[in-house]
Amino acid sequence: MAPFIVKVRNESGLPLPEYATPGASGLDIRAAIKAPIVLAPGEWRAIPTGLYIELPEGYEAQVRPRSGLALRHGITLLNSPGTVDADYRGEIQVILINLGREAFRVEPGMRIAQLVITPVVRITWELVEELTDTSRSDGGFGHTGTQ
């Protein structure tokens, strides 16, 4: 399969985002900060990455949490997943939040999130009076069971 090419400007001085394993879906992105930032429990902050990208029309980049930071420290993204639209040319920033019980130190160059590039489907609405019925119908949260 031919590589999918995305233009990138890297002002971070850090390595470009990369896949940690051959089967990884997300590219690890790093904190482009000069000094550590400490997030107290419940605190959030936009962390710069120094990355600017140009996606082809019809694609988006999703900024997602790193599972290890979430599991070990309660660090996640406030707007997960964050969306980088194809027409955005500004710096990618990551809104980290500390949902843990202890302060968390974000170090310069630390891998703080993942970037997943995915196609976007554009729709046209069809206004109708009724929707097709299903076995679930309007059953919402928890409707399909607790297991």
DSSP state letter for 57? T
Q: Which range has the worst mean pLDDT, 2-11, 86-95, 107-116?
A: 2-11
pLDDT band at residue 1 under the 50/70/90 scheme: low
3-class DSSP assignment, residue 111:
strand
pLDDT tier for residue 3 given thresholds of 50, 70 and 90: confident
Q: Alpha-carbon distance 120 to 61, whole Å?
A: 10
Let me know if residue 61 belongs to a domain: yes
Cα distance between residue 74 and residue 71, in whole Å? 6
Residues forming beta bridges with residue 96, ordered by sequence position: 45, 77
Q: Stretch 75-96: mean pLDDT, rounded?
A: 96
Query: Is 4 within the bounds of a domain?
Result: no
Single-letter code of the amino acid located at 24: A
Contact criterion met (CB below 8 Å) for 99 and 75: yes
DSSP for 61-74, written as a single string: EEEE--HHHHHHH-
Confidence of residue 47 (pLDDT cuts 50, 70, 90): very high
Within-domain flag for 12? no
- The model's pTM is 0.86
pLDDT on residue 136 = 79
> Does residue 95 belong to any structural domain of this protein?
yes
- How many separate domains does the chain show? 1
Give yes or no for residue 60 having a pLDDT over 70: yes
145 found inside a domain: no
Per the domain annotation, does 124 fall within a domain?
no
In a domain, 140, yes or no: no
Task: Write the CATH number for 67.
Answer: 2.70.40.10
* Whether residue 108 has a cis bond before it, omega within 30° of 0: no
- The reported pLDDT for the residue numbered 4 is 86
